[in-house]
Amino acid sequence: MIKNKKVSLADIAMALGVSKTLVSMVLNGKGDENGISKKTQERVMELAESMNYKPNQFARGLRMGRSNTIGLIVSDISNPFYSRLARSVEDAVSESGYNLMICSSDESEEKEMKLLEMLINKQVDGIILSSTLDSTEHIEGLQNENFPFVLIDRIYNDFETNTVVVDNKLGAYEAVDFIINNGHKKIAAFVISPAHISTQVDRLEGYKDALKKHSIPLNQYYQKVIPREEIYQTVCQILTEWKTDHMMPTAIFVANNQIAIGSLEAIRDLGLSIPKDISIVSFDDIDLFKLYSPPITSVIQPINSIARNAVEILLDNIKIKDNSDSLIKVHKCLQTNIVVRNSVLKLG
């Protein structure tokens, strides 16, 4: 039975004929260190239990300045990558007795800043952020105020803070290297807008590195930024353009699951067949890839590990802040894995 009638510390103290101080100490596990007799402690515990006492979180937060809540900002919680990430963060965080507030920034810098402000205003104890911001100005602000946070998924080269990422460059490199090793030379890359996001920049870098290593000349014409609002249409356009120009690549490296979905649709609707007409490898693994025909080769991110690491670092930082030691910045760079399926044609 869930009770709503609010029982307060005072009620318990009153009923027991002791002070609120004593009750508070006992309930917070500070009975022993304050030398409260075992008997008294037991009486307090029992009564609190039987009265179904729950400390008022507002009073507690007001007094202690902490909420036991952490915030998570991602671009869109309905994107399967982020919803899984959120799920892992939720689990990790709640194991440590924290609650989670999940927000979607919609890739809008303005919205993200509002969200950041809102979370801080709600006095979350820390934030895990996959930022859409182009400049680090606001994030540096957080840092200067010693506010605990960790950047995941997307980071900034020129700015030192807590980060948990995947080796996007290497992951992309391996994917494209795999394509090349299957005999391909005309390989395109699709990156999603906004193209300044580090994941997209790094994956494009990895793509270029792989081509370079195999002495395949880079071709701007094969590097496309797909606007996230109209993926399908844009890919159709590009494909048609390539076709009329007689410049159709034999393979495409897709840097993100959303572009992959739109591309798969476009490729199918234009009557192209994978991998006969065009090979494809995508970043991010989603259910669809395993079940598509043919199954799509893709680069898997260790989502759970990203979440666990981020939470661990954040919680450490929150604790350190409590002790007012100085914060040490930590970086985690996790490895991706390539799952080979049947979307790349063996050439020659």
Q: Which residues bind DNA (CB under 7 A)?
A: 6, 8-10, 17-22, 24-25, 27-28, 30, 34-37, 40, 53, 55-56, 59-60, 62-64
Q: Please choose which of its own copies, DNA, none residue 205 contacts, taking the beta carbon within 5 to 8 angstroms, the exact cut-off set by kind.
A: none
Asked if 330 and 266 touch (Cβ cutoff 8 Å), the reply is no
Q: Please choose which of its own copies, DNA, none residue 33 contacts, taking the beta carbon within 5 to 8 angstroms, the exact cut-off set by kind.
A: none
Q: Please choose which of DNA, its own copies, none residue 219 contacts, taking the beta carbon within 5 to 8 angstroms, the exact cut-off set by kind.
A: none
Question: Hunting for tokens 């609190």 — which residue is that?
Answer: 48
Sequence-distant (≥ 6) Cβ neighbours of residue 325 within 8 angstroms: none
Rule CB under 8 A: say whether 101 interacts with its own copies: yes
Q: Cβ closer to its own copies: 103 or 211?
A: 103
User: Applying CB under 8 A, what is the total number of residues that bind its own copies?
Assistant: 56
Q: Which of 142, 248, 270, 339 binds its own copies (CB under 8 A)?
A: 142
Q: Please choose which of its own copies, DNA, none residue 324 contacts, taking the beta carbon within 5 to 8 angstroms, the exact cut-off set by kind.
A: none
Asked if 30 and 41 touch (Cβ cutoff 8 Å), the reply is no
Rule CB under 8 A: say whether 145 interacts with its own copies: yes
Q: Which of 57, 233, 237, 337 binds its own copies (CB under 8 A)?
A: 57
How big is the CA angle at 131 (ends 329 and 235), to the nearest 5 degrees? Answer: 135
Q: Please choose which of its own copies, DNA, none residue 1 contacts, taking the beta carbon within 5 to 8 angstroms, the exact cut-off set by kind.
A: its own copies
Rule CB under 8 A: say whether 158 interacts with its own copies: no
Q: Please choose which of DNA, its own copies, none residue 24 contacts, taking the beta carbon within 5 to 8 angstroms, the exact cut-off set by kind.
A: DNA
Q: Which of 26, 44, 116, 210 binds its own copies (CB under 8 A)?
A: 116
Q: Please choose which of its own copies, DNA, none residue 17 contacts, taking the beta carbon within 5 to 8 angstroms, the exact cut-off set by kind.
A: DNA
Rule CB under 8 A: say whether 246 interacts with its own copies: no
Rule CB under 8 A: say whether 138 interacts with its own copies: yes
Distance CA(23)–CA(1), nearest Å, equals: 24
Q: Which of 270, 288, 320, 338 binds its own copies (CB under 8 A)?
A: 288
Rule CB under 8 A: say whether 326 interacts with its own copies: no
Q: How far is the CB of 50 from DNA (least distance, A)?
A: 16
Query: Which residues contact its own copies (rule: CB under 8 A)?
Result: 1-5, 54, 56-59, 61-62, 67, 69, 76-78, 80, 83-84, 86-87, 90-91, 99-104, 113, 116-118, 120-123, 137-138, 141-142, 145-147, 261, 264-265, 268, 286-288, 290-293
